[in-house]
Chain A
Amino acid sequence: MRREIPLLITGIVGFGFVVQYFVPHYPFSEMSNWFADWFSIVQACAIVLGGLNLMKVSFKKVMDKKDDWGYAVVVILSFVVVLGIGFTGGEEFRVPGTPFDWLYNYIYIPLSATMFSILAFYVASASYRAFRARNFEATLLLVAAFFVMLGRVPVGEVISGFMPVGYRLGDLASWTMNFPQAAGQRAIMIGIGLGIVSTSLRIILGIERSHIGGGE
Chain B
Amino acid sequence: MRNRLRSFRSPSLCTPGFLLTLIILLIGVSISFAQDEPVVVDTTSAVPDSVLAERVPLPPTNIRVADRLNDAGGSIVITWDMSPDDRVEGKVQEYMVMRAEIVGGQPGEFVEVGDATPGATEYSDGNTKDGIEYLYKVVAVNNYLENNTVIWKELAESGLSDPIKSSAQWFNSSRLSPFIGILLLGFFIIYFINQAKSGKKLFIRKIAGMEAVDEAVGRATEMGKKIYYVPGLSDMDNVQTIAAMSILGRVAELAAEYETYLDVPVCRSMVMVTAREMVKEAYSKVGRPDSYSNEQVHYLTDDQFGYAAAIDGMVVREEPATIFYMGTFYAESLILAETGNSIGAIQIAGTAMPSQLPFFVAACDYTLIGEELFAASAYLSKAPKELGSLKGQDMGKAVILVALILGMLLETFNIWQFSKLFAVQ
Interface residues of A (CB under 8 A from B): 18, 21-26, 29, 39, 42-43, 46-51, 53-54, 57, 60, 67-68, 71, 111-112, 115-116, 118-119, 122-123, 125-127, 129-130, 185, 188-192, 194-203, 207-208, 210-214
Contacts and interface: CB of A to CB of B under 8 A. Distances in A.
A23 to B, nearest CB: 6
Given A25-B169, A126-B363, A130-B362, 18 more contacts: A21-B172, A24-B170, A24-B172, A46-B268, A49-B273, A50-B268, A67-B317, A111-B305, A116-B305, A122-B363, A189-B354, A191-B370, A194-B185, A194-B396, A198-B389, A198-B393, A208-B246, A213-B281
A116 B331 contact: yes
Contact of B270 (A43, A123, A125, A191): A43
Contact of B273 (A22, A46, A123): A46
Contacts of B272: 49-50, 53
Contacts of B373: 195
Interface string B196-236: 00000000000000000000000000000000000000010
A194 B359 CA distance: 23
Contact of A198 (B178, B300, B392): B392
A123 B358 CA distance: 11
B338 A208 contact: no
B335 A190 contact: no
* Interface of chain B: mostly helix, strand, loop or mixed: helix
Given A29-B168, A192-B354, A198 B189 contact: yes
B331 A195 contact: no
A211 B239 CA distance: 11
Interface in B343-396: 352, 354, 357-359, 361-363, 369-375, 377-378, 381, 385-386, 389-390, 392-393, 396
B245 interface: yes
B84 to A, nearest CB: 38
Contact of B375 (A43, A195, A213): A195
Contacts of B268: 43, 46, 50
B173 to A, nearest CB: 9
A213 B72 contact: no
B235 A43 contact: yes
Interface string B272-285: 11100110010001
A71 B313 contact: yes
A86 B269 CA distance: 20
B129 interface: no
A122 B181 CA distance: 41
Q: Count chain A CB atoms within 10 A of each CB in B169, B243, B381 and give the residue with the most.
A: B243
Contact of B378 (A111, A116, A208): A208
A54 B300 CA distance: 6
B189 A201 contact: yes
A124 B171 CA distance: 51
A22 B278 contact: no
Contacts of A60: 295
B175 A22 contact: yes
A191 B73 CA distance: 35
Interface of B: 70-73, 168-172, 175, 178-179, 181-182, 185-186, 189, 193, 235, 237, 239, 242-243, 245-246, 249-250, 268-270, 272-274, 277-278, 281, 285, 295, 298-306, 308-309, 313, 317, 331-332, 334-335, 337-338, 352, 354, 357-359, 361-363, 369-375, 377-378, 381, 385-386, 389-390, 392-393, 396-397, 400
Q: Which 9 A-B pairs have the closest CB atoms?
A: A195-B374, A195-B371, A50-B269, A213-B281, A29-B72, A46-B269, A191-B371, A115-B305, A50-B299
B334 A24 contact: no
B270 to A, nearest CB: 5
B171 A50 contact: no
A145 to B, nearest CB: 10
* Interface of chain A: mostly helix, strand, loop or mixed: helix
Given A47-B269, A188-B357, A201-B185, A211 B172 contact: no
A207 B193 contact: yes
Contacts of A129: 362-363
B12 to A, nearest CB: 45
Contact of A194 (B193, B335, B369, B400): B400
Nearest to A54: B299
A26 to B, nearest CB: 6
Contacts of B338: 122, 125-126
Given A126-B338, A194-B397, A43 B269 contact: yes
Contacts of A199: 239, 242-243, 374
Contacts of A21: 172, 175, 178
A197 B373 CA distance: 13
Contacts of B72: 24-26, 29
B70 to A, nearest CB: 6
A214 B193 contact: no
Given A29-B72, A111-B305, A195 B172 contact: no
A115 B251 CA distance: 29
Contacts of A210: 245-246, 249-250, 278, 377, 381
Nearest to A58: B298
B182 A195 contact: no
Given A24-B72, A24-B172, A42 B305 contact: no
26 contacts: A22-B179, A23-B172, A24-B170, A25-B169, A29-B72, A42-B270, A49-B269, A53-B269, A112-B306, A115-B305, A115-B309, A116-B331, A125-B338, A130-B362, A188-B357, A188-B370, A191-B370, A194-B185, A196-B374, A197-B181, A201-B186, A202-B378, A207-B386, A208-B378, A214-B281, A214-B285
